[in-house]
Amino acid sequence: MLPSALTVYVFMAASDLIDGWLARRLDAVSRVGAWLDPLVDIVVVLALLCVLVSDGALPVWAPIAPALAAIAFLCTSKKRPRYGVFGRYYGAILYIAVGVAMLRLPGAIQTVGAAAVAAWGVAAMAERLNLVPSTHAEP
């Protein structure tokens, strides 16, 4: 992956973190923002995962669990998104995983990393669909 692409990606991830932090700190959290922020994150991460798959950096199955977890999130978020233990950190894990995949590490490392992210995604989806007990916390 081009160093410039990685630089843009790091800037994008940092701006997403700062945006959320500022919204909470300045008490500027809105219902629309609570929906749009994760929706944009989902679209960006899934698009990047698909690009990394087409580039050969990740296995073909890598985007499946994140896509299913995203669908579960969108289908179960009625008024305001709620996050469980796995779901709260899944976005950050996906951002880190995409950044690491952009480094083009050896294939075995990429596959193990993709499998770990997929497992976390399955856990987040199961938690979201109340298939496993969890304590939901508001963002």
Per-residue confidence (pLDDT) for residue 11, from 0 to 100:
84
Q: Is residue 68 part of a domain?
A: yes
Task: Please enumerate in sequence order all residues whose Cβ is within 8 A of that of 84, keeping only pairs 6 or more positions apart, or say none.
Answer: 124, 127, 128, 134, 135, 136, 137
Q: Is residue 136 part of a domain?
A: no
Going by the DSSP 8-state scheme, the letter that residue 28 receives in this structure is -
Residue 100: both structure tokens together: 């690491």
Q: Is 73 exposed, middle or buried (0-12, 13-18, 19+ CB in 10 A)?
A: buried
Per-residue confidence (pLDDT) for residue 51, from 0 to 100:
85
Q: Is residue 112 part of a domain?
A: yes
Q: Is residue 18 part of a domain?
A: yes
Q: Is residue 137 part of a domain?
A: no
Q: Is residue 121 part of a domain?
A: yes
Q: How many domains does the chain have?
A: 1
Range of the domain at 14: 3-128
| 139 residues of the chain, pLDDT tens digit each | 556 777 888 888 888 888 878 888 888 888 787 777 878 888 888 888 888 888 888 888 888 888 888 888 778 776 555 667 777 778 778 888 888 888 877 777 878 888 888 888 888 888 777 765 555 554 4
